[in-house]
Amino acid sequence: MKKDTIIYIFDPLCGWCYGFSGTIVDLFNKRKEDFDFEVVVGGMITGTRIAPFSTMHGYVSSAYKRVEEMTGAKFGEPYLNELLPSGALMNSEPPSRAVVTFRSFLPDQVVPFAHALQKKQYLEGRDFADNTVHEELAVQFGLDPKAFIEKFESEEMKYQTTQDFQWSNSAGVKGFPTVVLKNDQGYYLISNGFRPLDEVEKVIETIQGMAKEA
């Protein structure tokens, strides 16, 4: 029997996505036998939006506290005190391409990979422009780091990443994180922004109930 699909649309540089990532991982662990899970990257910071982290230092220094309070996620000192004030560039493309590359190897593990990727930045203060970060993540999930980086640098993965960005835009996604359920009837919004697990599950039950009545 064909499963419904839960699609998680996020951006690696989105702080609220980091806050929500624990919820989507919990949902994945709890319901992966019931649903297929897909991850799409949204391309929040690309093109003319690329800028040093330091340009967001003042805003994030206060905004992160609200994310912590609402979601329970913790931001690490290396991110807050080292990466955030630095001249390193915010650019969604490299970490998004890492997600797309990983998806081509282990699609069934892409939800926990997305969470692990964000922890590299928001906990450890790592810069995604450094391929060592992606190599470490590949090893963490049992992949050959050299093979991962070779594919990560390929034109195919660069193209597929832009396709994800375009899909997100054409689908009318207005912000991240966004979660939708796809079934035979179409696409249904589960969450736009942070939502705790119990609320997410209630929305899913409502959507599935509607589908049975249709």
What's the 3-state SS for the chain?
CCCCEEEEEECCCCHHHHHHHHHHHHHHHHHCCCCEEEEEECCCCCHHHCEEHHHHHHHHHHHHHHHHHHHCCCCCHHHHHHHCCCCCEECCHHHHHHHHHHHHHCHHHHHHHHHHHHHHHHCCCCCCCCHHHHHHHHHHCCCCHHHHHHHHCCHHHHHHHHHHHHHHHHCCCCCCCEEEEEECCEEEEEEECCCCHHHHHHHHHHHHHHHHHC
Q: Which phi and psi angles does 88 have, rounded to 5°?
A: -60, 145
Residue 155: predicted pLDDT? 98
pTM: 0.96
Question: Do 20 and 71 form a contact (C-beta atoms < 8 A)?
Answer: yes
As a whole number of angstroms, the distance between CA 45 and CA 36 comes to 28
Residue 1: predicted pLDDT? 72
pLDDT tens digit at each of 214 positions of the chain: 789 999 999 999 999 999 999 999 999 999 999 999 999 999 999 999 999 999 999 999 999 999 999 999 999 999 999 999 999 999 999 999 999 999 999 999 999 999 999 999 999 999 999 999 999 999 999 999 999 999 999 999 999 999 999 999 999 998 999 999 999 999 999 999 999 999 999 999 999 988 777 6
Residue 94: predicted pLDDT? 98
Residue 210: predicted pLDDT? 85
| CATH number of the domain to which 132 belongs | 3.40.30.10
As a whole number of angstroms, the distance between CA 109 and CA 61 comes to 32
As beta bridge partners, residue 111 has: none
As a whole number of angstroms, the distance between CA 90 and CA 185 comes to 38
* Cβ atoms within 10 Å of 66's Cβ, excluding its own: 12
* Number of domains making up the chain: 1
Q: What range does the domain containing 64 cover?
A: 5-213
Angle (CA) 71 98 186, round 5°: 65
